[in-house]
Structure 1
């Protein structure tokens, strides 16, 4: 028995020595890796990175969090501000770069004095203060969102556009029941659509444009009671669902993604609320839905840089509030209805780079229009007409070795008047069976939409 215990003791010492040796050798190799592959990090930077890796943890959803300890000497006005302190200190630890030092004074228990943090009386208890808003817009801050931000249960505004935040949106955001505006635009978030936003009952303004989100968008987004949806400049790829028309938004911008399929006809159901819709530069390949003409309150409609085909429907002439209309760079054809160019508020109509063959004179009187690169007769800068087709070559003469065939029979002489000649039928109109030409290919970034004033212009892309 004593012999077994002594063996067990020596074996334990060996195991401990082995792991200490492996750990020390891996640490030295890590330092070599950092020094060789990251531009020669200093020893202090290597120690900081290793320390940061030990500080964070994963919650039950796999989202990252920070281990925050509260100094017992700190005094807080109320428990909610103590929770806000924990959330903001965790976030400060999750920030790797703050070039403007916006979070520099995030120290101590007076969180309402923190820069870019705004407090107000709690809705359910006006006698206490709580954190109601955070605005770090245009801070160029690098980091991620820790799951402790879910402790800010009274947060109504969360604005962090034009920074370098990455990762995903923590699922603990589901606790932000009062969140009204969520602006994550112009950052480096990635992954699937952050479905946690669908569970925010007070949310009205959603802006996640200029990120790297990808995949499909849940159709439940369009059943949610939102006022504005900005999801442009991401990597979403899917067909727009038929319930798009259920959305009560006033502005929806879906531009510069990888949509495909048809523009849903249910878009016409949004006539009571919709003011602006931007669908440019996606993969829509369908006819222009006539139901869009029901949008009597729409002021901006941009469907440029798609693959829309067929004519513009006459119903578009019923959009009496329309000010900006852009269908450039599609495969539309036919004649433009005069009712469109007669709309009372239309300031700019851009339909260049299509295959229109008719343009009513009233269009030339618009304050702004662009009809270049179509098939319009007597208009400048149009597409070149196709070259005339050559007649088929004549068959080569036949050389007979035997005597030539007899001449045709002499004409028949009628004793009665000859029968009336058969009238020539007009040839049937030509049938153009070839498909319309493909959309032109454009190299480099897409040009900006000139003359369109969006309600919320996109932030400058910091890449």
Structure 2
């Protein structure tokens, strides 16, 4: 009996010991990447593979090792996407695509990973840093958790990183700042938090999606340094003012700052974004009036100012913008509406003026609610935003658009030289009499006299009596060579205004696909059903940013119902966020599957 009791006692102790060991091992296994420190800074891995396995080259051998290590960390694969991740032929794995190496056309290497909409649970492993030839990494709409390993910095030619709609946590993944070729960054719909690094806007990105996270800092002042055509910061907890530097982004196509905690007055400088098609400042704490500069937004299609504390008058100069299709200014404190803002000029234009303080309008706020706000005096400088806007750089930027129209007046100013006689002698003090005697020539060609008076100083007296009667002889000055080169500098002066579109974001060759936005803002409520999954309690989200992920299907929910087993391999479309990313589809005759897309992604490979 004693022996039996001792046996049971020892068995229980052993079982409990194994359980504790298992728990500790499992915990370390799952939290390893989160607590990643200097232990893996060199990213040197001991690759232990069965010697019997034969690989075409060392790069595919490393890829096999990395993918097998990643597979070990997968906890759930309901769609069996990783079922065929066995064997040495990694190029046949579901979601893995190979192409010729960028530095050696005779070597095949893993060029892309696409596991979008797989509902896979697990975490990323540092061994993925061995995929140094990776160009695209897409794992949108899964259940990956933890952090992005620092070893991803070894992916020196990675162009697209899409980890959206997962369960990643922690601060902003600084590893993306060390990817020199990165153009597309999508980390939306996660739980990243804390400050946004200012270095993000100093790297050459074309699209930045940070929406639906928990970032809570001020928007960095150097946001204007970015060359991105799309930056989405919506549905976070950003605070403070809108940086005036955002107006330096001539290529910015859409400004989406909805559902944050931004305060202060709406900057007057936003009217400088003449190429912007979408301006969404809704669900913030902006005060004051609508800037008059908004009438310069000639390309804007949608303006959303709802749910702020804006007051004053809605002017018809904004309501009659040429390309405007949707203007939403509901749930504010506007007290006056100009006629053309009451009834749209075109039937396709939609105005939403509900829940304001407009007289004789339906669905407005009560007087006792309106009076305290409407009668309140707003001092925009008290928010501390104007000080930043009065900096030297910003003042220059602010003066540029105002001085662009006046250039024509300086030209007519020299035309009447009889009155401004001292102005003409300034460029050529030695021969002041000649310019006085020949006012007609400057009328027809003001630049030539400015550059040519010194050389023809000895000659103008004789032709002076003959030139005034016939204006044509003015350009015919064979003796002095300076008048001949004078026209080229004049042309150079005219050129700068014509090259303003040079800032348009060029489509990188590695970005296939492309869809034009066809007035989606009129049906934004219909997008509510396609919202990607959110984890954890969150405050209500604005339906504008209910976005399908960058995937092959329209939404994660739809894909999980209709697709089972291995996924097809068409090229990646751009994010269907109601955005125009200036990308056109790759026009290649034999692009059938995703593998050939990566061959086209390397322009220096034949």
TM-score, normalisation: structure 1: 0.75
Gap regions ≥5 residues in structure 2: 1-8, 380-537, 559-606
Contact 1:68 1:90 in 2 (8 A): no
Residues 6-38 of structure 1: CA deviation (Å, up to 9, x unaligned):
xxxxxxxxxxxxxxx99983741664x8xxxxx
Partner of 1:89: 68
Call closer, same or farther: CA 1:432–1:23 in 2, change over 3 Å.
same
In the alignment, does 2:332 pair up with 1:324? Answer: no
Where do residues 318-397 of structure 1 align in structure 2 (5 Å cutoff)? 318-363=296-341, 364-365=343-344, 367-386=349-368
CA distance in 1, matches of 2:369, 2:25: 72
Q: Which of the residues 283, 286, 306 maps onto 2:261?
A: 283
Partner of 1:448: 543
Q: Which of the residues 167, 175, 181 maps onto 1:188?
A: 167
Where do residues 44-63 of structure 1 align in structure 2 (5 Å cutoff)? 61=38
SS of the residue corresponding to residue 372 of structure 1 reads coil
Residues 332-365 of structure 1: CA deviation (Å, up to 9, x unaligned):
1111122111111100000000011121221221
Contact 1:61 1:171 in 2 (8 A): no
Residues 26-68 of structure 1: CA deviation (Å, up to 9, x unaligned):
741664x8xxxxxxxxxxxx97x77767978777635799987
In the alignment, does 2:144 pair up with 1:165? Answer: yes
Q: Which of the residues 62, 66, 77 maps onto 2:56?
A: 77
Partner of 2:238: 259
In the alignment, does 2:406 pair up with 1:311? Answer: no
CA distance in 2, matches of 1:79, 1:444: 49
Contact 1:293 1:317 in 2 (8 A): yes
Partner of 1:207: 186
Call closer, same or farther: CA 1:294–1:145 in 2, change over 3 Å.
same
Greater mean deviation of Cα atoms: 62-71 or 226-235: 62-71
Residues 157-183 of structure 1: CA deviation (Å, up to 9, x unaligned):
000000000000000001000000000
Q: How many residues align?
A: 379
CA distance in 1, matches of 2:370, 2:231: 46
Which structure: greater helix fraction?
Answer: 2
Q: Which of the residues 97, 116, 123 maps onto 1:118?
A: 97
CA distance in 2, matches of 1:378, 1:356: 13
Contact 1:118 1:131 in 2 (8 A): yes
Call closer, same or farther: CA 1:30–1:236 in 2, change over 3 Å.
farther
CA distance in 2, matches of 1:296, 1:387: 36
Partner of 1:28: 16
Where do residues 417-456 of structure 1 align in structure 2 (5 Å cutoff)? 432=376, 445-449=540-544
Greater mean deviation of Cα atoms: 356-365 or 147-156: 356-365
Partner of 1:155: 134
- What displacement does 1:299 show? 0.8
Call closer, same or farther: CA 1:324–1:150 in 2, change over 3 Å.
same
- What displacement does 1:386 show? 2.5
SS of the residue corresponding to residue 386 of structure 1 reads helix
Partner of 1:423: none
Gap regions ≥5 residues in structure 1: 1-20, 34-45, 390-429, 436-442
CA distance in 1, matches of 2:127, 2:324: 49
CA distance in 1, matches of 2:134, 2:112: 6
SS of the residue corresponding to residue 544 of structure 2 reads coil
Residues 171-221 of structure 1: CA deviation (Å, up to 9, x unaligned):
000100000000000000001100010010000000000101111010010
Greater mean deviation of Cα atoms: 159-168 or 56-65: 56-65
- What displacement does 1:279 show? 0.4
Contact 1:162 1:459 in 2 (8 A): no
Residues 110-156 of structure 1: CA deviation (Å, up to 9, x unaligned):
11111110000011001110000000000000000000000000000
CA distance in 2, matches of 1:276, 1:432: 32
Where do residues 286-301 of structure 1 align in structure 2 (5 Å cutoff)? 286-301=264-279
CA distance in 2, matches of 1:75, 1:89: 15
Residues 262-301 of structure 1: CA deviation (Å, up to 9, x unaligned):
0111111112x11112100100011001111111111111
TM-score, normalisation: structure 2: 0.58
Partner of 2:205: 226
Task: Indicate the structure whose relative CO is greater, using CA pairs within 8 Å and at least 6 residues apart.
Answer: 2
In the alignment, does 2:227 pair up with 1:239? Answer: no
Contact 1:261 1:286 in 2 (8 A): yes
Flag as ranges the 4+ runs of structure 1 deviating above 6 A: 21-24, 53-59, 63-68, 452-458
Greater mean deviation of Cα atoms: 334-343 or 305-314: 334-343
Partner of 2:602: none
How big is the alpha-carbon RMSD for the aligned residues of Structure 1 and Structure 2? 3.3
CA distance in 1, matches of 2:375, 2:326: 35
